[in-house]
A = this chain, B = another copy of it.
Amino acid sequence: MINPRMLELGKAPSTIRELFAYGQRRKQEVGAHHVFDLSIGNPSTPTPAAVTERMRQLLSQPAETIHGYTNAPGTAEVRAAVARNLNERFDAGALPQHVYMTCGAYAALAVALRALTVPGDQVVVNAPYFPEYRVLAEAADAQLVEVPTVPDTFQLDLAALDAAIGPRTSVVIVNSPNNPAGAVYTADVLQGLGDLLRRKSAAFGHPVFLLSDEPYRELSYDAPVPFPANFYDHTVVCYSWAKSLSLPGERIGYAYASSRMDCADEVMAAIAGAGRALGFVNAPVLFQRVMETCIDCPPDLSDYARNRTLLTEGLARLGYEFVHPDGAFYLWVRALEPDAEAFSARARELDLLIVPSNSFGCEGWVRCSYCVSSAVIERSMAAWEALKRSYE
């Protein structure tokens, strides 16, 4: 029979993707010029020329070599490249055998959560959080536990985490730079988190794993992003080149089980098992081979930096309140009424598409993606102004 849980998930699609789909329809109705779609994190910066050039080179090689199956965890070359990259940048101590290539960070999260939980376990997330964490945790028959972050800074609330992490907690998820709030967790906060998780693991007699979701790692404007795995050994990193190299639709990323943890081999085996169970065979091979040589390609943040300035200065001028974002390409803006969904709906009437905070596990805010052309940000200001005025 049709599975009622899957049916419900399919009929209630993610708010973000629903808004994105609405925007696509709306653009066809009234013209793309008139819709200010700040809904989805679809990078507007072009893929670097080096990536395209590498693909062209690959296409001139024998087809059976470049499009064939790889081993399930990925090519030896790309796994070595990932380990080298992490070691050069973060002194991570990474070994290639602890890298598992995936169809993007979302698949990495899916396999890691399946590998690191048994039914009935708890998965702790820090709100506001990427809403699909709930979907993936519940699909693993785990229970999602929401812990609020510190008001205004949106840094981790270590006291609240201390209270929430119990003997059934198998995984804590962090996401820095944060989607949706744009916060970057400081080294001090991560050190505190590491200390807390070591203490909890010792008390419970089993490791509480840290799942570090890092698709925005490269997107920081003022200072490098501290690497969570350097503060806690039992960390699994979930990464994607979707945002840094503007390849979101290509589904290429990895899960990396820190080689410093005592059970890294077991965690990798369980991740490989979860890959089989969930339906992954190997990550798309052409992009594995692209990353073999393009992994050190720097992201181009110039558009996002300009947009960040345009949007924050524009909204400040209009009197909006927001969190100054240190990283990612999202601005977290306080809604002008307590009901963020109503606020988002009113914005939609003005063809301004912004995501209500309810779907991120908190009330009263909206997320605005500024990974769009600067012209969209500029043109959106009239809508922001009209929206503000409608509340006066």
Contacts and interface: CB of A to CB of B under 8 A. Distances in A.
A328 interface: no
Interface stretch (A43-51, A178-186, A222-230, A374-382): A43-51
Given A6-B274, A10-B268, A270-B2, A45 B67 contact: no
Most chain B Cβ neighbours within 10 Å, of A11, A67, A121: A67
B115 A6 contact: yes
Given A67-B250, A246-B64, A249-B69, A115 B3 contact: yes
A21 to B, nearest CB: 6
Interface stretch (A104-112, A145-153, A313-321, A347-355): A104-112
Which interface residue of A40, A103, A110, A132 has the most chain B CB atoms within 10 A?
A103
Contacts of A293: none
A28 to B, nearest CB: 10
Q: Give the number of copies in the complex.
A: 2
Given A64-B43, A107-B280, A249-B284, A2 B135 contact: no
A251 interface: yes
Interface in A224-259: 246-251
A31 interface: no
A52 interface: yes
Nearest to A2: B270
